[in-house]
Amino acid sequence: MSSLWNNRISISIFGESHGPAIGVIIDNLPSGEYIDVEELGRFMARRAPKKDGTTTSRSEKDLTQILSGVYNDRTTGTPLCAFIQNTDTHSGDYSNISHLARPGHADYTGAVRYKGFNDVRGGGHFSGRLTAPLCFAGAVCGQILERRGIYTGAHVKEIHGIKDAEFDHVKVSRQDILDVRYKDFPVINDKKGKLMKEDIQKARMGCESLGGIIECVSINVPAGIGSPIFDGLENSIAQLIFGIPAVKGLEFGAGFKTAKMVGSQNNDDFYVDDHGYVMTKTNNHGGILGGISSGMPITMNVAIKPTPSIAQPQETVDYHDMTNEVLSIKGRHDPCIVPRAVPCVEAAVNIALLAHLLDYPNFC
């Protein structure tokens, strides 16, 4: 199903950018889990536009209302529906491009897929706005995970060639994750963050946009989670991560670098540590072997393409009249979506982890 992910827990996302509301149903959550609504709000705020010129100037307050599945602040175990009203929509901004395919967007492919009947205003169901319910679902899952010590954190690893520091793939701690989480611009090294922001603002002034890479880690996932072949952690995370618009690549552990390595470099030697736990000395495997967690940090990189909405004139087609045209996109767009995609990546990983952990004896 287009907007349904169904694997132990299900995430069913609905809504169009300029319709009355967007939202999500999360089914099969464990019952009795405390939901901290304020903390959910803080998670959602990380995805909201900033006032510093690095994002759209749209005001997406994303006030999420829980319609079901939570009672007396705890999950009931029955479906949790969250709903976000669309308020700050300027449909007029899009009126002039109704059948002009914005390059890099799903306007043309969506029109073919839905025979022209989909709601194209603001990208409709393809809008990046639909990551808000994904974030919400991931934030709910994250609270359940963190209460058991499992933390997931991401940061902007690279934008347009400017590189942040990286998490230590062997020793990354809860504190490392929390240190980045609530920064306005989520990088480890704020000096690099400042350079990135300047680059983004410059791009915006030049009617350009920038892409980047997000690094994400999950710690304290017990060994033995996931399954071989099609239902491993990598498969599930991948299926969810590619649900975030603009993602064009995903690698776990040493990822594409393994292609240049020899086996003795890439293999991570095992050892039993002083507490009797099995560990690896290095973590090129990214915490997953055979689809199953090893107990080491789960690590991945996610490639995000430059926002396709740019103010420069672009050659394109009118897919209704089948004519060649030139398009100048107006409206308020993100010059770089990477920082706002950071909580989206965490959300996707949280959902995958909770789903697989539900099979783990005594998890809930």
- Closer residue to a second copy in complex, CB, 38/272: 272
Q: Applying CB under 8 A, does 74 fall inside the site for a second copy?
A: yes
CB 61 within 8 A of CB 48: yes
| Residue 193 Cβ vs a second copy, minimum distance, rounded to whole Å | 16
- The contact mask relative to a second copy for 155-194 (x = CB under 8 A, - = no) is ---xxxx---------------------------------
| Residue 153 Cβ vs a second copy, minimum distance, rounded to whole Å | 19
Interaction residues for a second copy, span 131-150 (CB under 8 A): 134
By DSSP bridging, strand 278-280 and strand 151-159 are unpaired
How many other β-carbons are positioned within 10 Å of the β-carbon of residue 13?
A: 22
CB 190 within 8 A of CB 197: no
Interaction residues for a second copy, span 335-354 (CB under 8 A): none
Tokens of residue 7, six digits: 């694997």
Give the Cα separation of 259 and 276 in Å (integer): 33
| Residue 171 Cβ vs a second copy, minimum distance, rounded to whole Å | 19
Give me the phi and psi of 348, to 5 degrees please.
Answer: -60, -40
Q: Rounded to 5 degrees, what angle do the CA atoms 109, 110, 114 make?
A: 120
DSSP lists the bridge partners of residue 7 as 9
Interaction residues for a second copy, span 253-282 (CB under 8 A): 253-256, 258-272, 276, 278, 280-281
Give the Cα separation of 93 and 316 in Å (integer): 18
Q: Applying CB under 8 A, does 293 fall inside the site for a second copy?
A: yes
- Closer residue to a second copy in complex, CB, 177/210: 210
Give me the phi and psi of 305, to 5 degrees please.
Answer: -80, 160
CB under 8 A: which stretch of 49-57, 137-145, 174-182, 284-292 binds a second copy? 284-292
Interaction residues for a second copy, span 189-248 (CB under 8 A): 203, 208-213, 223-232, 234-236, 238-243, 245, 247-248
| Residue 151 Cβ vs a second copy, minimum distance, rounded to whole Å | 21
| Residue 178 Cβ vs a second copy, minimum distance, rounded to whole Å | 26
Q: Applying CB under 8 A, does 103 fall inside the site for a second copy?
A: yes
Nearest alpha carbon to residue 344 among 80, 156, 117: 156
Give the Cα separation of 311 and 349 in Å (integer): 33
Q: Which of 41, 50, 90, 108 binds a second copy (CB under 8 A)?
A: 108
Interaction residues for a second copy, span 27-66 (CB under 8 A): 27-28, 31-32, 65
How many other β-carbons are positioned within 10 Å of the β-carbon of residue 277?
A: 10
Query: 65: exposed, middle or buried (C-beta count within 10 Å: 0-12, 13-18, 19+)?
Result: exposed
